[in-house]
Amino acid sequence: MERPQLEDRTKKVAHVSILDMDAAQMEKLQHWDQEMTDVMTADMRSWLILEVEKSLLRLFLIMKLPLFNKAKIFIKLYGCCPDGESKAIGPDYAGCPSTTLAPFLLGGTVAPSKISSCALPQDQGAVCASGYKLVWYYDTTEGRCSQFWYGGCEGNDNRFATKEQCETICVEPPGIGRCYLPKIEGPLRCDVPQARYWYDYNTKQCAAFWWRGCHGNANNFGSWEECS
């Protein structure tokens, strides 16, 4: 709709004082004012209705996506990842950042390569767009699992989403997994030295070492016979 007619009316009445208007002019001004209000109200109403309709349509289309519905189910069933932000897509934090439980935990056993990674030093990796995440690693100096900030990319395999995962792999793995664990003497503050034995999977032999009496892992035997 063109509006020159409204502008023309404005010009016609703009130079006339309201005090000088007669009844006919006042009625004409009131009619013009009402028409202006009606036009503006109609335009605003149309714009608001259009915006609401577009928003509802976008929401409807998003909710129809299969991934949207699956995400809602996953969130309800499996909750959040240990980072408190990502959503798990399966049990045991499946699909979470820095968690790859399936490749090294199969059938109740642990891959030797994953167990041997417990001897690796802490590695925060590179910082990704997702930012830092608080995860766990096995501290060979302390002989226990500790937390550190992981950058989100790269790093090494001595990294776990939870303390439970770290201890399951690096402290007391199932089956014969203990034989792949590194030798841990324990922290210096532990002052109860004991002669113990550990199995060196590289040489395939048992060897003696001094254990300080606290912390450590399951690759710690009281006798040569027990180690063998």
Q: What digits encode the pLDDT tens for the residues 141-172?
A: 999 999 999 998 889 999 999 999 999 999 99
- What is the C-alpha to C-alpha distance for residues 61 and 77, in angstroms, rounded to an integer? 24
Any domain includes 40: no
- Tell me if residue 197 falls in helix, strand or coil: strand
The whole domain housing 78 covers 68-97
Beta strands 105-106; 126-127: pairing state: unpaired
Domain count, the chain: 2
Assess whether pLDDT exceeds 60 at residue 70.
no
Where does a domain end: 80, 97, 114?
97
Average pLDDT over the chain, rounded to an integer: 74
pLDDT digits (tens, 9 = 90+) for 192-212: 899 999 999 889 999 999 999
**Position of tokens 């509006």?**
3
Name the β-bridge partners of 208: 197
Name residues whose C-beta falls within 8 Å of residue 86's C-beta, 6 or more positions apart in sequence: 80, 95, 96, 97
Q: Based on the domain organization, do 82 and 124 belong to the same domain? A: no
Crossing angle of helices 23-64/4-14, nearest 10°?
140
Residue 147 sits in a domain of what CATH number?
A: 4.10.410.10
Q: Say which residues have a Cβ less than 8 Å from residue 152's Cβ, sequence separation at least 6.
A: 97, 98, 125, 126, 127, 128, 129, 130, 131, 132, 133
